[in-house]
């Protein structure tokens, strides 16, 4: 009886739904409940854009990763991260020394497996990361981006897997990011790899957007797959992943050995996840991502793009209709534009060399299609506007395209005096760690445990600066207030106190007097402000107020957690002002 194991993609569940991911304190709450479910051999804890997102809302990603991985490490559940190869954890290429440091840092933070992919499936962008991961003691899971075209055949993927295994990959992941991989084809790929390499672990990751992924999981299991990525309510299905309950029942009926699910823990994890949505994450989840659509079968775009795609359409919709109206032509609905865009993606994709439609190349292809639609509606030619990043893809600076560029694209490049590049993409991005080390020394910034702060600075330079200055937190709070206001405005409901909406299950801590808030006596050290999620007990001292007559102590009125901070270290509070919010246990 073949055993199939499950991996919970808790990070990707959120990032396929909306913009943000849970805070450190929320991850700390959910981890033991995930463990209690008893059905997961692996959990995806970080990677992709998640750590950049931590910085965007003013949280240290290194603390978040260590906090989330620790409980899984302690019980033997493997943790894994998503890694974009040449691009590391961002959208653009990363110098080799920063890439190499990443694996040392993530290993020390408790991450067991790195899922390494290249959006072009170029082995040159994956193989160095395999080597860095092996040297750091991580398990390199080399990843093939699955799509469907005349170029992306079973033979294509089997040949790619041979190169990755020869380079030292311990596992292979089939990353079906748009869920357009055809089930039988996926089974054939898995069977071929397992026949040649029976000891290689194979993991399948398929989004549910167009509806193939449940059948794909069954075919992968029958062909010898080992691990399946699954989600759970309230974020499963839609543009995310199949729910573990469905997949477990399907495989059990098919005769596979699968783990049992502790349903009491499942319901608690479901409740907690919903509470995170209610807290603040739900304000950034696009409702369209909760639905599946077969329209993705033709264009092959990943479901996680639907939110940004619809926002882009909204941006050009008014301009297009204004032009049509001025010229006496029939206006277009959003659905009309959506179908035109999907058709245009399908048309231009092979002309651009069939790049797998995954970050960032899915965005590039979508952007060209959108511009083409806009220009053609106005009677102008295709390819009137192509941005620099897309040209870098076309010219080979990001790696080798799987397919062949159309003659019209080659001609357009020549017309613009652009040169094609056939060298190793990494050579375009020289080492940079010394620059970051020097600046951290000049600023007196701590490089962090195992150089993790140095890594974060070098990987996400702009976002890290904004995090350190406090600008990121201010910007996020303003963004959240805007999102809350917009939601209530759409529903034509009077907007309540924004702060109470941000912390719906919490009670305010009110200043008993006027004074300077001191979470620590050294009020100039703003880093001493307490973190979200800090546990407190009734009558614990929360802070003191430096008043004109001395220090006034402020104590907790209950057992609970600090979920919101309204007054930072050293700020003035008037009597009656809200200092913080506590959620009672």
Buried b or exposed e, range 278-309, using 16+ CB within 10 angstroms: ebbbbbbbbeebeebbebbbebbbbbbbbbeb
CA distance 23 to 64: 7
CA distance 514 to 403: 68
- The CATH number linked to 554 is 2.40.50.100
**End residue of a domain, out of 185, 202, 230:** 230
- From the list 532, 530, 533, 550, the residue with the least C-alpha distance to 541 is 530
pLDDT of residue 494: 61
Say if CB 579 and CB 567 are below 8 A apart: yes
Half-sphere exposure (CA, 13 Å, Cβ side) for 236? 17
The separation between the first and the last C-alpha atoms of the chain, rounded to the nearest angstrom, is: 45
- Does any domain span residue 551? yes
Residue 151's domain spans which residues?
Answer: 146-230
Say if CB 582 and CB 561 are below 8 A apart: yes
- Does any domain span residue 155? yes
In the chain, the number of structural domains is 3
pLDDT of residue 193: 98
pLDDT of residue 307: 59
CA distance 434 to 133: 22
Nearest 5°: phi and psi at 551? -100, 130
What are the C-alpha distances in Å from 53 to residues 11, 142, 293, 338? 11, 24, 27, 28
pLDDT of residue 487: 74
Quick one: which H or E segment has residue 321? helix 306-326
pLDDT of residue 500: 58
- Does any domain span residue 514? yes
CA distance 239 to 296: 10
- Does any domain span residue 388? no
**End residue of a domain, out of 230, 246, 276:** 230
Quick one: which H or E segment has residue 454? helix 452-459
pLDDT of residue 262: 98
- The CATH number linked to 197 is 3.40.50.720
**Opening angle at CA 26, ends 535 and 36, nearest 5:** 100
Nearest 5°: phi and psi at 115? -90, 105
CA distance 18 to 32: 24
- From the list 116, 180, 114, 184, the residue with the least C-alpha distance to 144 is 116
CA distance 373 to 332: 12
CA distance 302 to 28: 30
Cis before residue 234, ω within 30 degrees of 0?
yes
**Roughly what angle, to the nearest 10 degrees, separates helices 388-395 and 361-377?**
120
Q: How does DSSP assign 81-124, residue by residue?
A: EEE-GGGTTSSS---HHHHHHHHHHHHHTT--EEEE--TT--HH
Residue 478 token pair: 């303003």
- Does any domain span residue 21? no
- Does any domain span residue 281? no
CA distance 132 to 138: 9
**End residue of a domain, out of 202, 230, 258:** 230
pLDDT of residue 523: 47
Question: What are the counts of helices (DSSP H) followed by strands (DSSP E) for the chain?
Answer: 22, 16
pLDDT of residue 287: 79
In this prediction the pTM is 0.84
What are the C-alpha distances in Å from 582 to residues 481, 538, 552? 19, 11, 19
CA distance 520 to 524: 9
CA distance 538 to 237: 41
Whether 301 and 225 map to the same domain: the answer is no
Residue 582 token pair: 């506590």
pLDDT in tens, the chain (585 residues): 899 999 999 999 998 888 899 999 999 999 999 999 999 999 999 999 999 999 998 999 999 999 999 999 999 999 999 999 999 999 899 999 999 999 999 999 999 999 999 999 999 999 999 999 999 999 999 999 999 999 999 999 999 999 999 999 999 999 999 999 999 999 999 999 999 999 999 999 999 999 999 999 999 999 999 999 999 999 999 999 999 999 999 999 999 999 999 999 999 999 999 999 988 899 888 777 888 989 889 888 886 666 567 667 777 888 888 888 888 999 888 888 888 888 999 999 999 999 998 888 988 998 899 889 888 988 899 999 898 889 999 999 999 999 999 999 999 999 999 999 999 999 999 999 999 999 999 999 999 999 999 999 999 999 999 999 999 999 998 898 888 887 777 666 665 555 556 676 788 899 988 888 888 765 445 445 566 678 888 888 888 888 888 888 899 999 988 888 888 888 889 888 889 989 888
- Does any domain span residue 421? no
CA distance 299 to 370: 13
- Does any domain span residue 5? no
CA distance 467 to 60: 8
């Amino acid at each position: 009886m073949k055993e199939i194991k499950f991996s919970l993609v808790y990070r990707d569940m959120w990032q396929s739904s909306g913009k943000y991911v849970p805070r450190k304190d929320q991850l700390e709450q959910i981890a033991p409940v995930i463990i209690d479910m008893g059905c997961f051999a692996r959990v995806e804890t970080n990677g992709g854009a998640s750590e950049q997102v931590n910085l965007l809302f003013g949280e240290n990603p290194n603390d978040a990763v260590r906090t989330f991985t620790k409980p899984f490490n302690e019980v033997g559940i493997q943790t894994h991260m998503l890694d974009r190869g040449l691009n590391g954890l961002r959208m653009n290429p990363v110098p080799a020394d920063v890439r190499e440091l990443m694996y040392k840092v993530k290993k020390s933070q408790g991450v067991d497996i790195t899922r390494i992919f290249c959006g072009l499936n170029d082995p040159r962008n994956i193989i160095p990361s395999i080597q860095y991961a092996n040297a750091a003691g991580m398990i390199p899971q080399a990843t093939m981006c699955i799509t469907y075209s005349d170029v992306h055949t079973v033979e294509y993927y089997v040949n790619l897997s041979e190169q990755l295994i020869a380079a030292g990959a311990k596992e292979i992941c089939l990353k079906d990011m748009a869920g357009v991989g055809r089930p039988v084809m996926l089974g054939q790929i898995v069977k071929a790899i397992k026949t040649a390499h029976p000891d290689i672990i194979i993991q399948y990751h398929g989004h549910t957007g167009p509806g193939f992924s449940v059948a794909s999981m069954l075919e992968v299991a029958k062909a010898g797959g080992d691990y399946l990525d699954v989600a759970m309510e309230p974020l499963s299905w839609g543009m995310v992943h199949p729910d573990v309950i469905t997949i477990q029942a399907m495989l059990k009926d098919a005769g596979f050995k699968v783990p049992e699910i502790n349903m009491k823990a499942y319901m608690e994890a479901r409740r907690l996840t919903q509470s995170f949505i209610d807290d603040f994450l739900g304000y950034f989840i696009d409702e369209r991502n909760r639905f599946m659509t077969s329209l993705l079968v033709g264009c092959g775009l990943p479901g996680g793009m639907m939110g940004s795609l619809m926002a882009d359409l909204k941006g050009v919709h008014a301009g297009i209709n204004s032009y049509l109206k001025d010229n006496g032509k029939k206006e277009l609905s959003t659905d009309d534009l959506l179908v035109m865009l999907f058709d245009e993606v399908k048309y231009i994709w092979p002309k651009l060399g069939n790049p797998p439609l995954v970050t960032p190349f899915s965005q590039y292809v979508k952007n060209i299609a959108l511009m083409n639609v806009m220009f053609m509606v106005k009677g102008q030619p295709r390819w009137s506007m192509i941005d620099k990043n897309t040209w870098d893809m076309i010219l080979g600076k990001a790696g080798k395209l799987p397919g062949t560029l159309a003659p019209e694209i080659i001609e357009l490049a020549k017309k613009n005096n652009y040169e094609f590049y056939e060298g190793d993409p990494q050579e375009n991005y020289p080492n940079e760690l010394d620059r970051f080390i020097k600046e951290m020394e000049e600023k007196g910034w701590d490089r962090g445990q195992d150089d993790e702060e140095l890594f974060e600075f070098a990987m996400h330079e702009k976002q890290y600066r904004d995090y350190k200055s406090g600008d990121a937190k201010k910007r996020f709070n303003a963004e959240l207030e805007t999102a809350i206001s917009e939601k209530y405005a759409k529903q034509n409901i009077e907007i309540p106190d924004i702060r109470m909406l941000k912390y719906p299950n919490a009670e305010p801590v009110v200043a008993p007097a006027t004074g300077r808030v001191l979470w620590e006596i050294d009020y100039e050290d703003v880093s001493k402000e307490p973190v979200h999620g800090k546990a407190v007990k009734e009558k614990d001292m929360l802070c003191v107020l430096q008043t004109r007559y001395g220090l006034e102590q402020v104590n907790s009125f209950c057992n609970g957690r600090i979920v919101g901070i309204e007054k930072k270290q050293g700020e003035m509070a008037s009597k009656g002002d809200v200092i913080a919010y506590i959620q009672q246990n």
